[in-house]
Amino acid sequence: MKDPLARATSRPPPTLGEGCVRRYDPEAMDESIGSDFSGAAELWRQLQEQPERPEKPQEK
Which helix (H) or strand (E) segment holds residue 24: the answer is: strand 23-24
User: What is the pLDDT at residue 8?
Assistant: 61
Rounded distance between C-alpha atoms, residue 23 and residue 16, angstroms? 6
Percentage helix, strand, coil, to 5, in the chain? 40, 5, 55
- The whole-number pLDDT of residue 44 equals 92
Residue by residue, pLDDT tens for the chain (60 residues) are 577 767 666 678 889 999 999 999 888 887 777 777 788 899 999 999 987 776 777 776
Model confidence, pTM: 0.41
Where do the domains of the chain lie?
Answer: 14-48
Cα atoms in the 13 Å half-sphere on the side-chain side of 49: 6
Q: What Rg, from alpha-carbon coordinates, does the chain have? A: 20
